Amino acid sequence: MRRFRRDPLGYIEERARRSRSEVFRLPWGAWCVRDTELALTVLRDPEFHGGMSSFFGEMLPSRAAQIDVGRAVRNVMRAHLPAYRRRLAEAAAGLGTVSQWPAAGPTLMYRCTAEALLHPAAPSPLRRRLAQAVSAGLTARQPHMWQRARVEMVRPKLLAGITDHVRSRRAEGPVRGEPRDVLDAVLRAGPRELSDRAVTDLYVLLFQSIVGNVGYAVAWSLLLACLRHPAGPPWPWPTDWLVREAGRHRPFVWMVGRPAPRPLEFRGMSFPAGAILSVSPYLLHHDPRRWDRPELFRPERWGGAPGERGGRGGRRERGEQSGRVERGEHGEQGPYLPFGTGPFICAGAAVAHSMTTEAVIALAQDAQLSVSGGDDRPVVAGAVLPRPFTLRRALKPSSRTVAETVGEGR
């Protein structure tokens, strides 16, 4: 367990390398599936998905309610995409020339989605609390104890504030038309019998997926691209490939589990009903039998040399492609699982991919980007986070405003 805690990804890679069977035991008793075919069966077979998804756990009373809430929130975020794009340029400028990452990722996301998360007529103190919670690191489990303590200091007031607001929205009665924000979506799609506090918990979970997961995906994409190509943008790959490859190389969610629905037998190994079969997107994305030099960050694997195939934007359309067996330049055939696959696949996968890609485009647009202080080693603290790094973003001379140039000349 100590070795696992020190380096969870290194630990499972080593176990997978040494293991002769398709499945090996994890320190907490679950089974990690090393074999791609079995992993895809676990993630796709309806038999493994008769119950609730572990993303929502027991927060909602039925699988149907989970699906409804997931879709309703995804629809709000999808409708917000045009406004999100407009906010990005402003938010990128707001980061300044030097910004500290990965924390800047969720902050940027929050700035661009604040109105979709909580509409502007909601109480300003609550909106301020949400912003503070993002700065404190509420968007993902943080690696250090002091960081987690900081989150715990803001959490009680935040939860109390959201719960009060849920109560008052319910008292006002349902709004007509489309949901104004993620909270309306949760209230409308979730069952009426949910307590105000249960609605709050659901809201925070989805808030974290939007602001945190996407924010960290942006952080990974920028870091890996700048490390691989220190000259900065324009990069020699379409942004779509870059973001896709960051999701392969450093998938934010590194392990998902499913309970065995009944006693199972697989290639001579038996599993009792309820045994947890875990699938690691990280492990499968780094399987040398499936991917060419998986240890390298190579966006070009997603389409051949830029210009040869598809040009900007790549030969694949942006969208929900998770879980497909992908074939790259070298005939690679990995399952691509940053969003999972099968019945419990991330409800927001396509929107999240668009948000990440748009953010990277906005930050790289007309700018010289470079990173310092970071490397590509991940920190696992619940999810796969990048280590702290500094991003320098200097506007290229042609894109500076006259005012800026005049100001500098004084």
Does 33 bind ligand HEM (CB under 6 A)? Our answer is no
Does 203 bind ligand HEM (CB under 6 A)? Our answer is no
In three-state form (DSSP H/G/I as H, E/B as E, the rest C), the secondary structure along the chain is: CHHHHHCHHHHHHHHHHHCCCCEEECCCCCEEECCHHHHHHHHHCHHHHCCCCCCCCCCCCCHHHHHHHHHHHHHHHHHHHHHHHHHHHHHHHHCCCEEEECCHHHHHHHHHHHHHHCCCCCCHHHHHHHHHHHHHCCCCCCCCHHHHHHHHHHHHHHHHHHHHHHHHHHHHCCCCCCCCCHHHHHHHHCCCCCCHHHHHHHHHHHHHHHHHHHHHHHHHHHHHHHHHCCCCCCCCCCHHHHHHHHHHHCCCCCCEEEECCCCEEECCEEECCCCEEEECHHHHHCCCCCCCCCCCCCHHHHCCCCCCCCCCCCCCCCCCCCCCEEECCCCCEEECCCCCCHHHCCCCHHHHHHHHHHHHHHHHCCEEEEEECCCCCEEEECEEEECCEEEEEEECHHHCCHHHHHHHHC
Residue (33 or 347) nearer to ligand HEM, CB: 347
* Nearest distance from C-beta of residue 243 to ligand HEM, angstroms: 9
Does 282 bind ligand HEM (CB under 6 A)? Our answer is no
* Nearest distance from C-beta of residue 345 to ligand HEM, angstroms: 6
- Per CB under 6 A, the list member of 8, 70, 303, 328 interacting with ligand HEM is 70
* Nearest distance from C-beta of residue 398 to ligand HEM, angstroms: 32
Does 210 bind ligand HEM (CB under 6 A)? Our answer is yes
* Nearest distance from C-beta of residue 298 to ligand HEM, angstroms: 20
Place of tokens 């990722």: 105
Does 348 bind ligand HEM (CB under 6 A)? Our answer is yes
Does 185 bind ligand HEM (CB under 6 A)? Our answer is no
Cβ atoms of 391 and 383 closer than 8 Å: no
Which residues touch 370 (CB under 8 Å, ≥6 apart)? 226, 230, 232, 391, 392
Does 217 bind ligand HEM (CB under 6 A)? Our answer is yes
Task: Give the binding range for ligand HEM (CB under 6 A) out of 11-19, 71-79, 142-150, 284-292.
Answer: 71-79
Cβ atoms of 281 and 34 closer than 8 Å: no
Task: Give the binding range for ligand HEM (CB under 6 A) out of 26-34, 68-76, 125-133, 364-372.
Answer: 68-76
Which residue's Cβ lies closest to ligand HEM?
Answer: 348
- Per CB under 6 A, the list member of 55, 61, 196, 310 interacting with ligand HEM is 55
- Per CB under 6 A, the list member of 36, 53, 113, 280 interacting with ligand HEM is 53
- Per CB under 6 A, the list member of 65, 109, 166, 351 interacting with ligand HEM is 351
Query: Which residues in the 261-280 window bind ligand HEM by CB under 6 A?
Result: none
* Nearest distance from C-beta of residue 71 to ligand HEM, angstroms: 8
Residue (232 or 318) nearer to ligand HEM, CB: 318
Does 253 bind ligand HEM (CB under 6 A)? Our answer is yes
Distance CA 374, CA 214 (A): 19
Residue (77 or 118) nearer to ligand HEM, CB: 77
Task: Give the binding range for ligand HEM (CB under 6 A) out of 213-221, 269-277, 326-334, 367-375.
Answer: 213-221
Residue (182 or 364) nearer to ligand HEM, CB: 182
Query: Which residues in the 325-344 window bind ligand HEM by CB under 6 A?
Result: 338-340, 344
* Nearest distance from C-beta of residue 105 to ligand HEM, angstroms: 10
Task: Give the binding range for ligand HEM (CB under 6 A) out of 3-11, 23-31, 204-212, 269-277.
Answer: 204-212
Distance CA 51, CA 63 (A): 7
Residue (107 or 209) nearer to ligand HEM, CB: 209
Does 73 bind ligand HEM (CB under 6 A)? Our answer is yes
- Per CB under 6 A, the list member of 11, 207, 220, 252 interacting with ligand HEM is 252
What are the C-alpha distances in Å from 143 to residues 6, 132, 239, 380?
A: 12, 19, 29, 7
Residues interacting with ligand HEM, by CB under 6 A? 53-56, 66-67, 70, 73-74, 77, 206, 209-210, 213-214, 217, 252-253, 256, 338-340, 344-348, 351-352, 356
